[in-house]
Amino acid sequence: MSATTTQKKPTRSTTMNTWRLSFHGLRTVVGLELSQRIRSRRWLVALVAWFVVIGAMTTLLVASNSKWNDRYDMTGTYLGPAPAGPMVFGIIVLFILGAGLVIAPAFTATSINGDRNQGTLATLQATALSSAEIVAGKLVAAWCIAGAFMVAALPFLVWSMVIGSIPVLRTLVCFAVVFAEIAVVCAVGLGFSALFNRSAASTVMTYVVVAALSLLTLIVPAVATVLTVRETTIHAYGLPEHVQDEWDEALFAWYEDHPDAFWYEWEGEEEATAKDFPVPPVQKCTEYEYTSWEAHTERVWWMVVPNPFVVVADAAPVSSSGPPRYWGEEDTNPLATIRLAVREVAQGPELVVDECAWLYSYMGYDVWQDRTVGTTVITAPDGSSPDYVSQVPPTELSQAPVWPWGLGVNLLLGGLFFWVAVRRLRIPYRALPKGTRVA
């Protein structure tokens, strides 16, 4: 039919402006998306329902706080009810993050393939808008809608912030990190909606990524920890083996003579002050080594870093008294607990241990470990300290923030999916995904 003329391969131009991102274009797409997706009153009803749920939850937590949220000091002494603020703040933050991770895919995971199937995408692409403007507009619009739910929870966050005297700046940081995590999930949804033609596939894949970030980042390192168990040499400062054996015998004999003094009833002070109680021979403490099987969690801990809950908890405000110093100090503050747990896991097994200090608990002292500085602290009930100098250097728990790394990884992930989405919308199309029509 037609004579074959020049068979030259067309080259893609540099003036297609695929990546141009103008304010005008962005605003146009955001406006279109918002008016398209915010429909009637249904949306408002969902928002109000959400507001009521968060409000009811906050009120219940605050009201019930004094009934169950007890506070103990490092030695287990009851200190009365803990302040409700940090606990409520933590639960609300984690709750809105969780809800955001669940609802965000709903706004983006079918955004591009849905438009494609409706035949509205190509008409928009045929305008002067760039691919980046279309994708970014969709992202911002979805982010705004998901963000409306976050903002609706804000009054209760502020309430718990006030009753917990939590610094405003850190609260803002925490809230901003939640927003950023939501944006990441929105971008992932957009990427999949550009990759898959079927909305079911893109939705499932987006939730798979959310689940992978939230759960797999905990399960995988937990399982991998088993593989990190190694025979490890521990440097200890404590009683040499034969001294320990002698003391154990004396202790055993004493308990035989005092059948009422079960270990679990042992209050410490009375027994320790009993004239014939075998005092641990702390003056015989010395350095020695032994080997034991230890899990080297410091090799796998980094896997938990991209977990959105870890990121947000780590970015969350620490209480006014600083980071928790011992396990249980803030065990009703979920954010502080996650923060401490991540750092414990990051540190791995203690390779140098002070076993001698713990013997002072047999002499009526309170012994506890300050996790922030890593030292073992011995105090008498009257507040005095024994003349004990630990031979073990303190192992300080890192307080370096972890969340910027996790957030960075997540933002990279979101950026990757954004890039994928723009690439997939780049026109003129060279290749089409299977089963796709342009128009």
Footprint of another protein (CB under 8 A): 1-13, 15-17, 24-25, 28-29, 31-32, 35-36, 39-40, 115, 118-130, 427-430, 432, 438-439
CA distances (Å), origin 262, targets 77, 256, 298:
20, 10, 38
d(CA 26, CA 141): 10
Kindly report the length of the chain. 439
Can you point out the beta strands (E) in 158-302? 229-238, 286-295
Rounded Cα gap, residues 35 and 334, in angstroms:
38
Closer to another protein by Cβ: residue 133 or 330: 133
Shortest spacing between CB 176 and another protein, in angstroms: 30
Query: In the complex with another protein, which residue's Cβ is closer, 252 or 429?
Result: 429
- What residue type is 399 in one-letter code? Q
3-class DSSP assignment, residue 213 = helix
What's the min distance (Å) between Cβ of 418 and another protein? 20
Q: How far is the CB of 427 from another protein (least distance, A)?
A: 5
Q: How many CB atoms lie within 10 A of CB 248?
A: 12
Which is nearer to another protein, 140 or 174 (by Cβ)? 140
Give the residue with the Cβ less far from another protein, 26 or 97.
26
Q: How far is the CB of 102 from another protein (least distance, A)?
A: 24
Closer CB to another protein, 12 or 67, in the complex: 12
Whichever of 14 and 283 has its CB closer to another protein, that residue is 14
Work out how close the CB of 97 gets to another protein at its nearest, in angstroms, rounded to a whole number. 30
Look-up: residue for tokens 């199309």?
429
Q: DSSP letters of 140-160?
A: HHHHHHHHHHHHHTHHHHHHH
- Angle at 64 (CA atoms; ends 59, 65), nearest 5 degrees: 100
Smaller CB distance to another protein: residue 29 or 139? Answer: 29
By DSSP bridging, strand 352-354 and strand 229-238 are: parallel
Q: Nearest distance from residue 214's CB to another protein, in Å?
A: 32
Q: b or e along 342-353 (b: 16 or more beta carbons within 10 Å of the residue's beta carbon)?
A: bbebbbbbeeeb
Q: CB of 205: closest distance to another protein in angstroms?
A: 24
